[in-house]
Amino acid sequence: MTAITHHTPDALLAAYAAGNLPQPFALAVAAHISLCLDCRAAHEAHLVSGGAVLEASKVEAVSEGLKSNVLDLLDAQVVEKKVYQRSGIYPGPVMEALKGKPPRWKSLGMGVRQSILSDGREGSVRLLYIPSGRAVPDHSHNGLELTLVLQGSFSDETGRFGVGDIEVADQSLEHTPIADEGAPCICLAATDAPLRFNSFVPRLLQPLFRI
């Protein structure tokens, strides 16, 4: 894997460490951290800082009855969670979202495919398969989009993104990502609002493709 040059911004790492990121973005950041040693170290630093703040906070006494009730509730809700490991190009957090199964690809036309991992009020997260030389239609954003490269690479107006790189796009960016020559580009894309396509046909198909 080539060196990762596009990292998760520190503000997003801090929000992830605090548990304040919406699920789609949390998945993208978790997957990036699993691939990037620098961001993993920064995330650990945020966890340590948060722990230090808690240690320094004023302690409030609670009754033994309240403590016992809370522990009983926690014991009653303990469910053994399956831990998913990396499989091929897919990091553990992505395999967890896939429930250990291969992606279920659906065609978007021109060889481009997608597999929606989740879609709800907090936003959506999907895998995108883009053959080399193919472009995602020119678009801007109604919110935030995180795109993590898992295979191949793509280029747009801001630069080139290879395996492990994450692009952060907001309302200020209008771009046309194009998959570079070589292996098909497979990305994990998380959004909290629909994209704004500039061409008529993508806008017409947008409700069908839920993107």
Q: Considering the domain boundaries, does residue 202 fall inside one?
A: yes
97 falls within a domain: no
Count of domains observed in the chain: 1
The pLDDT value recorded for residue 123 is: 95
Give the sign of the dihedral formed by CA 200, CA 206, CA 208, CA 209: positive
The predicted structure's pLDDT at residue 49 = 76
Tell me if 16 is assigned to some domain.
no
Instruction: Report pLDDT digits (tens) over 98-142.
Output: 999 999 999 999 999 999 999 999 999 999 999 999 999 999 999
Residue 201 is classified by DSSP as H
Section 84-101 average pLDDT: 96
Domain carrying residue 169:
103-209
Q: Is residue 5 part of a domain?
A: no
The tokens describing 202, both together, are: 């993508």
> Domain with 179 in it: what CATH number?
2.60.120.10
Q: Give this prediction's pTM.
A: 0.85
The count of other CB atoms within 10 Å of the CB of residue 126 is 21
46-72 tens-digit pLDDT: 999 765 554 555 656 666 676 677 666
Quick: pLDDT tens for 134-185.
999 999 999 999 999 999 999 999 999 999 999 999 999 999 999 999 999 9
* Spatial distance between the Cα atoms of 76 and 34, rounded to a whole number of angstroms: 31
DSSP for 71-100, please give it.
Answer: HHHHHHH--PPPPPPPBTTB-HHHHHHTTT
